């Protein structure tokens, strides 16, 4: 079945450092790919998405490119801030028509120090 | 502002008790979901509903049931709580828009402890 594997955390960085969180997927067909973020004490919210190969999703300085050849969707940010401290989840849509269920990775906890 | 509201942020129950977790959304979404979130396992889908009175099992439905009597409300029921159901429970909703945009709107979660 469809699944995602993301790098284990926790990840601790200093402000203005470069952040990469790796995500690879296994899927039949052509799933859409997503990154969700969970800030402390809050629910998850969509950070960015890509719906087909070579698409780049971007939001709040974060970017991720849908790479079909490497089945990857790595999240990157060039200069992190303390406010980026959160848990990040990679997710993919299941490919059955009309099926809007998502499969999520285990989550990566990121802590940014001032 | 879009809103998914879960009735309880924190609950403590005893083994064998019946537990109700309530979720209400104000966005007129067709789809509603219950996930549980556990460290190292991410989010796992328990149940899914795409319409009133309609439900589908997710990946881990054992020990749970759901009810959707109104479009805006989706309840998760633990008929007889067990300690392995101690977890964070997340409710989410989305439109049934035919494009599979994948944007789910989540509540803040209900942390359940079963003693």
Q: Give the pLDDT confidence of B19-77 residue by residue, as tens digits.
A: 999 999 998 988 899 999 998 888 999 999 988 989 999 989 999 999 999 999 999 99
In contact, B102 and B13? CB cutoff 8 Å: no
A107 touches chain B (CB under 8 A): yes
Contact A32, A54 (CB under 8 A): no
Q: Which residues 11-40 on chain B approach chain A with CB closer than 8 angstroms? A: 31, 33, 35, 37, 40
Which of B37, B42, B103 should one mutate to test binding to chain A, selecting the residue with the greatest count of A CBs within 10 A?
B42
* A10 interfaces chain B, CB cutoff of 8 Å: no
Alpha-carbon torsion, ordered B51, B57, B58, B61, to 10 deg: 130
Write out chain A residues lying below 8 Å of B94, CB-based: 100
- From residue B30, alpha-carbon distances to A10, B16, B106 in Å are 36, 32, 14
CB pairs under 8 A between A and B: 58
pLDDT, one tens digit per residue, over A56-107 is 999 999 999 999 999 999 999 999 999 999 999 999 886 555 556 788 999 9
Q: Find the closest chain A residue to B2 by CA distance.
A: A45
Q: Which residue has the tokens 């402000």?
A: A15
Query: Which residues from chain A sit within 8 angstroms of residue B100, using beta carbons?
Result: 32, 93, 99-100
């Amino acid at each position: 079945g469809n699944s995602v594997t993301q790098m284990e955390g926790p990840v601790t960085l200093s402000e203005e450092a470069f952040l990469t969180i790796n995500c690879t997927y296994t899927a039949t067909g052509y799933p859409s790919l997503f990154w969700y973020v969970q800030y402390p004490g809050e629910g998850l919210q969509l950070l960015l998405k890509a719906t087909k190969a070579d698409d780049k999703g971007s939001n709040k300085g974060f970017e991720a490119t849908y790479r079909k050849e490497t089945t990857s969707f790595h999240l990157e940010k060039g200069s992190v801030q303390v406010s980026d401290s959160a848990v990040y989840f990679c997710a993919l849509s299941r490919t059955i028509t009309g099926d809007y269920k998502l499969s999520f990775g285990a989550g990566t906890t990121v802590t940014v120090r001032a | 502002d879009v809103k998914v509201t879960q009735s309880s942020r924190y609950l403590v129950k005893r083994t064998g008790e019946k537990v109700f977790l309530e979720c209400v959304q104000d966005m007129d979404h067709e789809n509603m979901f219950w996930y549980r979130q556990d460290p190292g396992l991410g989010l796992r889908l328990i149940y899914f509903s795409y319409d009133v009175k309609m439900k589908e099992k997710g990946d881990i439905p054992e020990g749970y049931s759901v009810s959707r009597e109104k479009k805006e409300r989706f309840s998760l029921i633990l008929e007889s709580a067990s300690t392995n159901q101690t977890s964070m429970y997340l409710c989410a909703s989305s439109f049934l828009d035919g494009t599979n945009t994948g944007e789910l709107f989540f509540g803040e979660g209900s942390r359940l402890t079963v003693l």
